Amino acid sequence: MKKNLITAFLMTIATTILLGIIYPLVVTGLAQLLFHDKANGQLITRNGETIGSRIIAQPFTSAKYFHPRPSDAGNGYDATNSNGSQLASTNQKLIDRVRADAATLHQENPSQPIPVDLLTTSASGLDPEISPAAAEFQIPRVARERGLSESAVRDLVEKYTTQRELGLLGEPRVNVLELNLALDDLSAKR
């Protein structure tokens, strides 16, 4: 029995060192070496200042920006509290929020149907991308607020639309942060 306890203790120490220290350090080192940008959260920096991440949504409330999907993560777009609302589709709180959002969006663009991703939250509450239809819906407002032509804004949306991977995986999408930064650049050139 004593021999079994010593063997078990030594195996615990060995596996803790191997799998708890060495393996994570090797994986982290390889990730930093081979995939530095992705391993560090795909951060976007401007003039030495970190603005955001390509993979985590952030709120844009000004009318001159494209807006991401609604978020129920914490107080909204809180990466430390990533989660959806967990409300059932019959929950009155959810129904009221969607109705209020729909009314606001109808005022913005009364003649167009509202894309579903502008009314629904993602599972994480931090989805950084919207559908091309959601971007198209917002073009008139953004163009008007920035004093740009709709065609110039539409061209920018098309430029920042990512197509399906390998032509069949996923859905076309537009990264809101990258699009809004490009809009700022376009407006600064005017």
Token pair 């203790």 in the structure block, residue: 9
Half-sphere CA count of 165, side-chain side, radius 13 A: 2
Q: What's the CA gap between 120 and 107, in Å, rounded? A: 18
DSSP assignment letter at 15: H
Least confident stretch, 12-16, 84-88, 169-173: 84-88
Tally DSSP H helices, then E strands, for the chain: 7, 5
DSSP letters, 99-123, are: HHHHHHHHHHSTTSPPPGGGTS--S
Asked if 19 contacts 27 with a C-beta cutoff of 8 angstroms, the reply is no
Q: Specify the pTM.
A: 0.79
Cα separation values, 174 from 47, 94, 146, 160, Å: 24, 26, 19, 6
Q: What's the CA gap between 142 and 183, in Å, rounded? A: 9
| Confidence check: pLDDT of 187 > 90 | no
pLDDT in tens, 115-170: 999 998 877 878 899 999 999 999 999 999 999 999 999 999 999 999 999 888 99
pLDDT in tens, 45-99: 888 888 888 888 888 889 999 999 988 776 777 777 777 778 888 989 889 989 9
Section 25-41 average pLDDT? 88
Q: What's the CA gap between 113 and 147, in Å, rounded? A: 24
pLDDT at residue 43 in the model: 84
In this prediction, residue 110 has a pLDDT band, given cuts at 50, 70 and 90, of confident
